[in-house]
């Protein structure tokens, strides 16, 4: 494809999504204040004041309008219908995204338990697999390479649900979930543009157009001026689903192209490396809760951002640190996969992650002891 034409349609999709989101967010904030639709502070949350939780309702409509308008432009004006043609993956993916979006909006308005949201996530994941998006090769992890559908499809469903929950659960401080989504979608968009996956690149660039204005409102807005808004489940579930679809596509598309294309193992690692921090954190949380005989979906203050704040970091510092760590893990993995075995690389990731948490936990323990001694001295 002509590079000038590609950048034209990508710019169009970005601007359409960006403009729609910039227009929509202030309207959503206004409606939220009129209807008293706020995220209520509790012991787990770090915000105070009245903050609307409906920012994510602007994401999927803006993305879909941008993608459909640009696809129509490609088909009708440029006369290249083969580029605008909706694939089975896109149709099933859109259905799954809409299903999760509706569930998220309902949760943000009236509240839903995980017993309702979890089955919806599974159904949406199954829709992607039904479209042919499922992991059929482990590329040597634990010595396993090609795997049959009876193993690959259920494993892919678990991975998709894990990623959705990873994005949903890490949405605990301003700009963290949206910042990680921006980082991840940027990485995937670069991969898709480079490899000519135009439809996926369109969705990725449109998603960036929706995320950037939200990030500014979420991070730099204030409740006093009524300019702050949270993503809510409508946003985190939708973005988690889009990123999970990108992950599976990125991890598998190289297997379906000629041998002189991108290295298959490199693309597999590339797809998962950008999500290592949220994935490892949600796995750690689930294991911690199960060990303590609690539901893996029960709320607490054990998330990575809570731990960083417990050692004295501000919200902004914690956000930038976590996003920075995520970027470092990504760059480390895509560089090292050219030089070491994938099993050694995976083990290194887990060891580094575990070591980091051990050091943070020790620091928290020291600070708690100092605080306790200070409290005793004050009483005396």
Torsions phi, psi of 141, nearest 5? -65, 125
pTM: 0.92
Buried b or exposed e, range 301-335, using 16+ CB within 10 angstroms: eebbbbbbbbeebebeebbeebbebbeebbebbbe
Torsions phi, psi of 42, nearest 5? -145, -170
The 10 Å Cβ neighbour count of residue 109 is 16
Render each residue's pLDDT in the chain as its tens digit; 380 residues: 677 888 889 999 999 999 999 999 999 999 988 888 876 655 555 545 678 888 999 999 999 999 999 988 877 776 665 555 567 888 999 999 999 999 999 999 888 888 899 999 999 999 999 998 999 999 999 999 999 999 999 999 999 999 999 999 888 899 999 999 999 999 999 999 998 888 899 999 999 999 999 999 999 988 788 889 999 999 999 999 999 999 999 999 876 665 555 688 999 999 999 999 999 998 888 888 888 888 777 777 788 898 999 898 999 999 999 999 999 999 999 999 999 999 999 999 999 999 998 999 899 888 888 877 776 665 55
Q: Where are the domains of the chain?
A: 3-300
Buried b or exposed e, range 26-35, using 16+ CB within 10 angstroms: eebbeebeee
Q: Residue 20 in contact with residue 61, Cβ under 8 Å?
A: yes
**CA angle, 307 then 313 then 317, to 5°:** 110
CA-CA distance, 260 to 325, in Å (whole number)?
33
Residue 198 CB-density burial (10 A; 0-12 exposed, 13-18 middle, 19+ buried): buried
């Amino acid at each position: 494809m002509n590079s000038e034409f590609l950048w034209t349609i990508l710019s169009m999709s970005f601007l359409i999504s960006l403009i729609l989101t910039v227009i929509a967010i202030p309207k959503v904030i206004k409606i939220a204040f009129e209807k008293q639709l706020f995220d209520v502070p509790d012991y787990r949350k770090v915000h105070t004041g009245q903050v609307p939780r409906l920012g994510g309702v602007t994401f999927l409509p803006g993305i879909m309008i941008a993608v459909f308008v640009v696809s129509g432009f490609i088909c009708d004006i440029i006369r290249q219908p083969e580029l605008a043609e909706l694939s089975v993956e896109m149709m099933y993916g859109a259905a799954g995204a809409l299903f999760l979006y509706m569930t998220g909006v309902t949760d943000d308005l009236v509240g839903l338990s995980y017993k309702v949201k979890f089955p919806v996530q599974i159904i949406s994941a199954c829709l992607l697999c039904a479209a042919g998006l499922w992991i059929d090769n482990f590329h040597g992890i634990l010595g396993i390479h090609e795997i049959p559908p009876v193993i690959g499809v259920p494993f892919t469903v678990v991975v998709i649900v894990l990623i959705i929950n990873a994005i949903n659960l890490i949405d605990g401080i301003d700009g963290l979930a949206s910042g990680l989504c921006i980082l991840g979608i940027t990485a995937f968009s670069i991969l898709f543009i480079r490899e000519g996956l135009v439809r996926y690149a369109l969705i990725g660039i449109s998603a960036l157009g929706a995320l950037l204005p939200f990030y500014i409102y979420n991070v730099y807005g204030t409740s006093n001026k009524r300019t702050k808004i949270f993503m809510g489940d409508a946003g985190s579930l939708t973005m988690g689903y889009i990123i999970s679809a990108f992950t599976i596509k990125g991890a598998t598309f190289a297997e379906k192209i000629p041998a002189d294309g991108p290295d298959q193992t490199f693309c597999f690692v590339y797809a998962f490396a950008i999500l290592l921090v949220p994935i490892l954190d949600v796995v750690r949380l689930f294991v911690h809760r199960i060990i303590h005989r609690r539901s893996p979906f029960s709320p607490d203050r054990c998330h990575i951002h809570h731990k960083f704040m417990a050692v004295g970091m501000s919200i902004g510092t914690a956000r930038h640190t976590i996003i920075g760590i995520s970027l470092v893990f990504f760059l480390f993995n895509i560089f090292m996969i050219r030089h070491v075995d994938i099993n050694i690389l995976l083990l290194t990731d887990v060891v580094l992650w575990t070591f980091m948490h051990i050091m943070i936990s020790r620091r928290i323990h020291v600070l708690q002891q100092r605080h306790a001694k200070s409290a005793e001295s004050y009483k005396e």
